[in-house]
Structure 1
Amino acid sequence: MKIFLVRHGADEEGYRGGWSQRGLTELGVNQSKMLGKYLYEHAEQYDIQTVISSDLPRAVQTSKEIEAALDISVTYTPDWREMNNGELAGMLHAEAEEKYPGIYFNTLEMHTAFPGGESPKHFYTRIRNSFENLCIQLEAKKMKSNVLLVTHGGVINILYYVLLNREWSNTSSFYPIYNTSIHTFERQQNGWSVLEMNRISHLRS
């Protein structure tokens, strides 16, 4: 059983992300088109049967390009959203720094939430539980493997720690996760193995 994790395309700089409703830039759309083309051209290699996506606009726009290229209907769900940064979502950096000085993802205590949002601990638990539920559905054959999951950098980073059985906190080092990068995990007898990290060959073509 394989799971392919994909980060959305490039979005606008200068704004706080999280649950932002801002979409992709022109670059991000082009990256997503190139990813869709790459996955289509390598369909036998990846053998993707199911596509699931975060329902935030930047992930949806990325998934629409994959959906068009592979002719596979995407399931959109809030389960795979980035961390909920509440009132800071989509806010200009300068405005956020003025209204909420010093409040960043890695400055929060693990049980301290963003204003109107969630805490790092809640975020980690949400993603871990979503992944466990995904595995249960796959094992019960309620969905087809292999699964491609379009989500966000923070989510993929947590999944690295979950799948490699490493302890995580919001100050842990961040795995390299570029826009529209592919990260391939395979479940084997002794656990999960990483087959492909941060693959962006489609952006070089």
Structure 2
Amino acid sequence: MTKFYLIRHGETEWNIQNRYQGITDIPLSSVGRLQAQAIANRMKDYEVDAIYSSDLSRAFETAGQIAKEKNLEIHTLPQLREINFGEWEGYTISELEKIYGEEYKRFFLEPHKYPFPGEGSMEAVQMRIKKAVDIITSNHDNKKIVIVSHGGILKVLIMTLLELDLSFYKSFWLGNTSLSILDKKDTGKWVLSLLNDRCHLNIMK
């Protein structure tokens, strides 16, 4: 049975400021590095056969902490990068509302319905994440795999594997270094057994 451990990267300064990061390569903050170590400590308790990561530094550094604990190499995939938001990157939600008005507000409420700069559409994002899943499962079928990526792309991955409509995008959230778990059953269906769990961060409070 194939198992995916889906982990969002640690906190960045742009996360704190609520800025769109997209494919802009923003590093982990000091808190983000502590969060990365916390999820790495948690993953000691799980059997892991392979680690895949986005090639953006905030994800790769988070994956690096896990790789050290597991003594595994990191396979980087550009298909695991965050959603490309083009000219929106670097701006906050309130700034984009001022610049683009109703055009942005419509997207913010129903991102699956409207185009956006960069990648263009949620359908395009979904096609990219399907390629990533195909690469990972073809290389490590019936294995337990850590995937360290980004909030937006992991949400699309979860919806895709669970065969959920893209309209669910705004219905759930993934926090920094959250752990979600998906299992592929013998029927070929994927089942979600854990979502957005961050109990490993309790030691930081």
Same fold (TM over 0.5): yes
Structure 2 residue ranges without an equivalent (≥5):
none
Number of matched pairs: 196
The match for 1:71 is 71
**How do residues 60-99 of structure 1 correspond to structure 2 at under 5 angstroms?**
60-91=60-91, 96-97=96-97, 99=99
1:29 corresponds in structure 2 to: 33
Q: What amino acid sits opposite 1:114 in the alignment?
A: F
**Paired residues of 2:110 and 2:170 also in contact (CA < 8 A):** no
Q: Aligned ranges for residues 1-205 of structure 1 at < 5 Å?
A: 1-12=2-13, 13-14=16-17, 15-40=19-44, 42=45, 46-91=46-91, 96-97=96-97, 99-101=99-101, 102-103=103-104, 106=108, 110=112, 113-139=115-141, 145-169=143-167, 172-190=169-187, 191-205=189-203
Conserved 8 A contact 1:111-1:121: no
- Unpaired runs of 5+ residues, structure 1, are none
Query: How far did residue 16 of structure 1 move?
Result: 1.5
* TM score, norm. by length of structure 2: 0.83
How high is the TM-score relative to the length of structure 1?
Answer: 0.83
Deviates more, 1:98-107 or 1:118-127: 98-107
Instruction: Look up the SS of the partner of 1:4 in the other structure.
Output: strand
Alignment RMSD (CA, Å) = 2.4
